Structure 1
């Protein structure tokens, strides 16, 4: 009996020793999961996959993209908000998940202001107002005139907060009525635009510029205050309609669950900044309108606070009712 007890104690001691060694190993010592709260193929997904490859090389562990689309990014954000704060489940967030959702939803399953620890900003990109080629409007002014002539007959697709708010703001400021149609996938929305099942989309320049240049869709304007280098021939919405105050830019950043240790945040920030600053990624995304803005977790915290106030105003001005 005693030998059996001794063997059991030896096994237990070995197990505890191994566990202690594993816990003592520096972060990271296992794969990291990045939740992308939107469908594969969109700007968030493309950016996430490019960053993951660079981050994995720097961190020495696999960085795995896990798409969890739904509810303007809410489903994916909720997973990260409730994940263990150990740095192994992080969020590729946007203005949808980390600034606007609290004003679009009557109730969130987490506190948006306290559920996340900022890691670092990746960058930002303007949106493009786009029509299918079968729509009889060649300019944004012509589209507005068409909408006024056919009130309530035209629609727009959206998959994220920025797209919804951009279209609703445009409609309000131009004095037109457009019917919103939510989509889970940007690819499906684009397919329906090409098929004439929706009239317009307002989506990131990064996603639309290649199709615009190929003539598959008709870009009308960009939503930034200045023209985009990815499509310099397109006016801004302000230029096209004679407005002054229309501006909307989507931003992308990385967040961890609140309570993640400072040393883990610092390690992840180093990896995110290195990836966002790499020539390979910048050469790939800068031509399609992406502006990289790596920085500190503290800078992201300050930005996110300002962006949250900004998106509150945008959503209220667009008269979007919480769902």
Structure 2
């Protein structure tokens, strides 16, 4: 008798879940962007929200929750009710770099989220002040090898994405540059442009205006092929450097425990959103390339990057500034 009651309870629960997924969404969805308005993350997130609102028939309302290098917003996503009505933007910083640098972080990037899709990828770049004594990547590498510790590179901050790419580059090339952390890419770029620091390691979108203006010289990019906008600049992959060649990405995740049928519906809406020509143009103008893969593929991207960053933190003995 008890077994029969249990079976009936499970059947009713399954039916309720299925009904929820079929009717979902019936109210607005909150999209947490774990960074301040205006940056690439915000551009990607707001564009996705606009298109997904139209596709799903309910408003997708953006909430910027900045702070802690994205960890405050990521924690809010992880702690939200797993009902499909709170989702958020995933980034390399929030899902890989921060957890690798700070084991005491309040969330686990693998256990506490359910990936939906990768929305867009962004190239990364190593660029130098035009006065730097190297005109291309091969000359740059030769200068660094001949002068270990003489040159420094700027990044958006300790355990920021630029810092980690710079350290990965050092490991991969067996070179040594001194890291100079800043409070954001803007201040770092200002000092590189002024010649205070010779080298910049950055996401391409924030450096691109200065590259186009001739104020920065790009030497190598992280991308799967040469960029149409920088046809003379090789990729790390071309130079035999596999580890630094991964792009940055901006995805969608939900709290762990969100029903699979809801994840499927969100994935379909996001992929369809990325087919919109205007949204594609907005992304490309910001230096991002539309993606739109499966939940399993984005989960694999997160795990790969997290494992890579954990190893890098250990090898380079990277410690987060407190």
Alignment-derived partner of residue 124 in structure 1: 121
Rounded Cα–Cα distance in structure 2 between residues aligned with 1:55 and 1:207:
26
Is residue 86 of structure 1 aligned with residue 83 of structure 2?
yes
Rounded Cα–Cα distance in structure 2 between residues aligned with 1:25 and 1:298:
22
Q: Which of the residues 131, 144, 154 maps onto 2:152?
A: 154
Q: 1:227 to 1:175 in 2, by over 3 A?
A: same
Rounded Cα–Cα distance in structure 2 between residues aligned with 1:231 and 1:89:
38
Alignment-derived partner of residue 177 in structure 2: 177
How many residue pairs align between the two structures?
298
Is residue 305 of structure 1 aligned with residue 288 of structure 2?
no
Task: Flag structure 1 segments of 5+ consecutive residues without an equivalent.
Answer: 1-22
Report the CA distance between 1:116 and its aligned residue. Answer: 0.7
Q: 1:259 to 1:24 in 2, by over 3 A?
A: closer
Alignment-derived partner of residue 19 in structure 1: none
SS in 2 for 1:96: helix
Alignment-derived partner of residue 11 in structure 2: none
Alignment-derived partner of residue 193 in structure 2: 194
User: Bigger radius of gyration, 1 or 2?
Assistant: 1
The question of whether the paired residues in 2 share the 8 Å contact of 1:229 and 1:287 is answered with no
Q: 1:232 to 1:74 in 2, by over 3 A?
A: same
Q: 1:80 to 1:149 in 2, by over 3 A?
A: same
The question of whether the paired residues in 1 share the 8 Å contact of 2:127 and 2:218 is answered with yes
Rounded Cα–Cα distance in structure 2 between residues aligned with 1:109 and 1:30:
29
Q: 1:244 to 1:307 in 2, by over 3 A?
A: closer
Rounded Cα–Cα distance in structure 1 between residues aligned with 2:196 and 2:269:
42
Report the CA distance between 1:318 and its aligned residue. Answer: 4.5
Rounded Cα–Cα distance in structure 1 between residues aligned with 2:194 and 2:43:
24
Report the CA distance between 1:140 and its aligned residue. Answer: 3.7
Alignment-derived partner of residue 165 in structure 2: 166
Report the CA distance between 1:146 and its aligned residue. Answer: 6.3
Report the CA distance between 1:121 and its aligned residue. Answer: 1.7
Alignment-derived partner of residue 13 in structure 1: none
Task: Flag structure 2 segments of 5+ consecutive residues without an equivalent.
Answer: 1-19
Q: 1:50 to 1:194 in 2, by over 3 A?
A: farther
Q: Which of the residues 242, 255, 265 maps onto 2:263?
A: 265
1:62-109 C-alpha deviation (Å, 9 max, x unpaired): 323333333332121111111222323221101222233322113111
TM-score w.r.t. the length of structure 2 is 0.78
Alignment-derived partner of residue 252 in structure 2: 254
Q: CA RMSD in A?
A: 3.1
SS in 1 for 2:252: strand
